[in-house]
């Protein structure tokens, strides 16, 4: 990868500060999902328009990722053209790309007039996922906000040279289908039908699959993007 950024912490306060610096309206807020049990999911403000999973990248996961890609290609899977998807070309930028995926696939999100993030969306709408990744490399406004936010977490930011084995992936509802958006994968992954009311619950079923692949791991975090009054 051409660049390496500091990793973004799975901290809703940091995420909210980050996207608001880039011009996202304050009505939209990231918040912790305290657990995957139904009663805890009900505590999350609704509507939920996206969910982000932070998970450990293990050998088991890497094997699964390769097998999944080969299976989908063998089955003739046709990647959706209407889903906004960015290929990750910057190391440790998965948190920012997850936020971009969460916001860029929700048409109701409002932006300030001078929003750097809206400018990025408008300028890359006709690009391929790879071209969007390269454009992100050149976007000084997003990088500056990422770097300042990466320093604002509750834990000390690691050095740029330190290997990070945690990764963000976003889940969104586009036209009634639940999509998994991971910039390290070649295309969005469809996970069946969903709705505005059921997105978090439907995404939770996929989160549980991640956890079942690494049952001894505890480093899983879920953050939801909601519209709050």
The catalytic residue positions are 94, 167
- Percent helix, strand and coil across the chain, each rounded to 5? 40, 20, 40
Environment class of residue 228 by beta-carbon count within 10 Å: exposed (0-12), middle (13-18) or buried (19+)? exposed
Contact of 98 with 168, CB cutoff 8 Å? yes
Distance (Å, whole) CA 120 – CA 60:
35
| Spatial strand order in the sheet of 166-174 | 28-32, 221-227, 48-56, 166-174, 177-181, 189-193
Q: Which of helix, strand or coil describes residue 181?
A: strand
Contact of 145 with 153, CB cutoff 8 Å? no
Distance (Å, whole) CA 200 – CA 206:
10
Contact of 200 with 41, CB cutoff 8 Å? yes
Contact of 18 with 149, CB cutoff 8 Å? yes
Q: Is the dihedral of CA 73, 205, 89, 112 positive or negative?
A: positive
């Amino acid at each position: 990868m051409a660049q390496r950024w500091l990793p973004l912490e799975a901290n809703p306060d940091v995420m909210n500060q980050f996207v608001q610096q880039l011009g996202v309206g304050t009505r939209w807020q990231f918040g912790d999902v305290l657990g995957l049990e139904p009663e805890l999911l009900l505590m999350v403000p609704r509507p939920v328009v996206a969910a982000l999973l932070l998970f450990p990248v293990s050998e088991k996961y890497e094997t699964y990722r390769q097998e999944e890609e080969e299976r989908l290609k063998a089955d003739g899977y046709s990647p959706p053209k209407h889903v906004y998807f960015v290929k990750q070309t910057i190391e440790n930028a998965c948190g920012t790309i997850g936020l971009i995926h969460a916001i860029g696939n929700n048409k109701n999100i409002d932006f300030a007039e001078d929003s750097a993030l809206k400018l990025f969306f408008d300028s890359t709408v006709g690009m391929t996922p790879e071209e969007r990744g390269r454009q992100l490399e050149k976007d000084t406004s997003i990088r500056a906000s990422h770097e300042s936010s990466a320093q604002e977490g509750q834990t000390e930011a690691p050095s740029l040279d330190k290997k990070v084995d945690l990764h963000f992936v976003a889940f969104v509802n586009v036209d009634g289908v639940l999509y998994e958006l991971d910039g390290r994968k070649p295309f969005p992954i469809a996970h069946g039908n969903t709705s505005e009311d059921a997105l978090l619950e439907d995404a939770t079923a996929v989160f549980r699959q991640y956890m079942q692949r690494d049952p001894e791991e505890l480093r899983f975090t879920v953050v939801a993007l909601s519209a709050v009054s």
